[in-house]
Amino acid sequence: MTRTYNISISNRIEETPRVTALIENEVFRAGFPQKDVYDILIAVDEILSNIVYYAYGEGGDGRIDVAFLIDDGKVELEFSDEGVEFDPLKKKDPDTSVPVDKREIGGLGIFLVKKLMNSVEYNRVGQKNKLRIIKLKTGE
Amino acid sequence: MEINITKTDGTHEIFLSGRLDITWQEPLEKTVEEVFDENPKKVILNCEELTFISSAGLRVFMKAHKLSSTTGIELYIAKLNETTKKIFDITGYLSIFNLID
């Protein structure tokens, strides 16, 4: 069975728990293991923080739309904003062989998203940034 | 999440419980700074009840690491569970911290 959901928030950190709470409840209810739920929630936290901090500039107001789909084997999420064009996948991965305290700052969040999800895809569609992630259910 | 602190004999232990996501980065960073400001001998970040951590949380741990390096106050991370340890491991953060059980 496939279920689809949509939720919109304004670009403020204090709004993000509305998205994470909905996703958590629904993914858990659909029978995904706790471990998958946490991976997804971490990815969602990274993506929403990126949009809140960078998409609309300092103090700029904007919306974030999150659409997601859950079926028996996977969760697909799509994040849309109308902020400045930004492809997070172009960001170079942090060099994990370099000690953390000597690394360049940044890129850690999207790196985690790539590691924890099975697929991450960016598209610029009209005036929108669209980031799509897929997490396949882990076998028991 | 919840943050609790115990102070005994120069050891200040910060107990983290719940989810360390972006909404908690600032409050925890403030707590960590306050604890280091009190100039204990040792600071322990106890993660036994920490259910998950995103990069926002890792940045606070990094901040604690820097404070420890500049002040000479010892820093330990206690009781990382499987979920949180995975995040430290993937990002390479595991190797820079002193871990204790």
Report all structural domains of chain B as residue ranges with CATH numbers, in order of start: 2-100 (3.30.750.24)
Q: What is the pLDDT of residues B64-85, one digit of tens each?
A: 999 999 999 999 999 999 999 9
How many angstroms separate the CA atoms of A41 and A27, rounded? 10
Which chain B residue has the Cα nearest residue A111?
B91
Nearest to A96 among B62, B83, B92 (CB): B92
Question: What structural domains does chain A harbor?
Answer: 3-136 (3.30.565.10)
The H-or-E segment that residue B12 falls in is strand B11-20
CA–CA min distance A58, chain B (Å): 17
The length of chain B in residues reads 101
**pLDDT at site A96:** 77
Do the Cβ atoms of B52 and A42 come within 8 Å? yes
pLDDT tens digit sequence for B18-74: 999 999 999 999 999 999 999 999 999 999 999 999 999 999 999 999 999 999 999
